Amino acid sequence: MSTISRAVRPIAHASVACMAALLGPAVLAMLCVGGAHAADGNTSAEQKARLAVPPEFRHSDFVWTTAEGDLNGDGVPDLALLLTRHKEEGQREERLLVLTGRADGGYQVLSTSGEFCHPSKFYNLDIKNNSLFVQAVYYADAARFSGFTLQFRYNAKTKDLEHIGEQQDDEDYSSNASHRVSLNYLTNTAIHSRRAGKKYKEARGRIVGGPGVLPLNGFVCEGYGMTGSSVYLDESFKVHKMGVTPP
């Protein structure tokens, strides 16, 4: 089982408190800790986090969600935020921003992504075992789920988070069927798995034409799609060996 599989499960509901955190004139006026609840608007921690946000993002429209945890291994909680703002009519800008916590309770910017994923539904953020997991959800209701998760891990040499893996999840709850593709850029491994009722099959191969390990700083997710692999597991559970995963 991949690292992403162990750490993140598909979540078929939005973090309502975070998505409703409209900022108005004061950015981060309602910080959501761990994507679960809004922080007190008068706390010094929130004020310090607000001051660390780059000026160009201090007037964002809202915060999709946040997560708190130790990413760089110094024992001090860090903060990840997904921010959205409108630049011009009809144009929306998204950024994943990571702030490192300091011993004095303040924050400083660790990394800022390029244009992010623009999912049709919502995001989920989670920090576990010094890794940041970003789930972009494209479809979610009582019958079906579709989305992908990106994994970023801190590199002490580059002093930035790096994109080391990703996972695509598609589930049909009504038929108890699922399809998953997990990619590990550190080992260049691709794992395809399918389940239909009690039937389950897994196929392993190599990543084909992948971007490799990329830094979070400047990472562009908009229009991002799953990388191809040397194997594909079709709906009849037949394994195909090929250069590119069929759409």
pLDDT tens-digit map of 135-146: 999 999 999 999
pLDDT at 56 over 60: yes
Q: In whole numbers, what is the pLDDT of the chain averaged over residues?
A: 79
Q: Identify whether the C-beta of residue 35 lies closer than 8 Å to the C-beta of residue 68.
A: no
Task: Please state, in angstroms and rounded to a whole number, the distance separating the CA atoms of residues 140 and 182.
Answer: 20
pLDDT higher at 81 or 209: 81
Flag the least confident range among 35-44, 69-78, 86-95, 224-233.
35-44
pLDDT at 110 over 50: yes
pLDDT at 32 over 80: no
pLDDT band (50, 70, 90) for residue 18: very low
Q: What is the pLDDT of residue 223?
A: 53
pLDDT at 13 over 60: no
Q: What is the pLDDT of residue 34?
A: 36
Instruction: Determine what percent of the chain is predicted with pLDDT higher than 70.
Output: 74
Give CA separation, 131 vs 40, 207, 235, in Å.
26, 21, 32
Q: Is the pTM of this model over 0.85?
A: no
pLDDT higher at 90 or 173: 173
Q: Mark 190-208 as b/e (b = at least 16 C-beta within 10 Å).
A: bbbbbbbeeeeeebebebb
**What are the backbone angles phi and psi of residue 148, rounded to the nearest 5°?**
-135, 155
